[in-house]
Amino acid sequence: MPARLVVLVSGGGTNLQSLLDACRDPAYGADVVAVGADRQGTGGVARAAAAGIATFELSLSSYADRAGWDVALADAAAAHEPDLVVLAGFMKLTGPEFLRRFGGRTVNTHPALSPSFPGIRAPQEALDHGVKITGATLFVVDAGVDTGPILAQTAVPVENDDTAESLHERIKVAERAMLVDAVGRIARRGFSITGRKATIL
């Protein structure tokens, strides 16, 4: 049976699209069974709908508090019985209830070489710091901001004339390849965690 993936997005969904494309091959070992977003009208949800995949949109502002949103997000994901939850450009922290139910099987992709530049402005911060190499990291989500055990990383050079946008676009090319490769291997074989060290089996 292919692994059931629920993918959460906040934006254009190019990482999601690379997973959707990979999942067309039965040998890949995974199916995207639902795509969720933290806002209405994302490109990611539009891509899912175009592919005939179930979607849900849960805006934080529609809930009395963050805890209520967290429970609703966990319920919405649980309805699709995921084996693995993939945060692919999801710009919110998942909360305690989500982690209680999906911790250890939720992964996130981040556009920097962790532990450098956590948060939502990683390409700009890499430029501001003057690093010559940055990249992308796939990690197992924990309660911190981009702090979980690292499953995969890919390096990307910073060019002299880069803007945050041009650097992020170059990162995303490498990031999509890393995500597709790592999620496929996880779907087919799983991963283990010992302390900080995560290993795809």
- Integer angstrom CA distances of residue 172 from 110, 136, 186, 191: 10, 8, 20, 24
Whether residue 32 contacts residue 20, with contact meaning beta carbons closer than 8 Å, is answered with yes
Here's the x/- map for ligand GAR, 112-151, by CB under 6 A: it reads as --------x-x-----------------------------
Is 97 in contact with 74 (CB distance < 8 Å)?
yes
Binding to ligand GAR in span 42-101, by CB under 6 A: 44, 88-89, 91
Which one, 39 or 195, has the nearer CB to ligand GAR? Answer: 39
List 2, 11, 68, 95, residue binding ligand GAR (CB under 6 A)? 11
Residue with tokens 């690093």: 131
- Which residue number, 120 or 192, has a Cβ lying nearer to ligand GAR? 120
Is-catalytic flag, 80?
A: no
CB 55, CB 35: distance < 8 Å? yes
Say how far apart CA 201 and CA 186 lie, in whole Å. Answer: 7
In this chain, which of 6, 8, 13, 148 binds ligand GAR, going by CB under 6 A? 13
- The CA distance from 24 to 41, in Å, is 25
Q: Which residues bind ligand GAR (CB under 6 A)?
A: 9, 11-16, 44, 88-89, 91, 109-111, 120, 122, 172, 175
Active site residues: 110
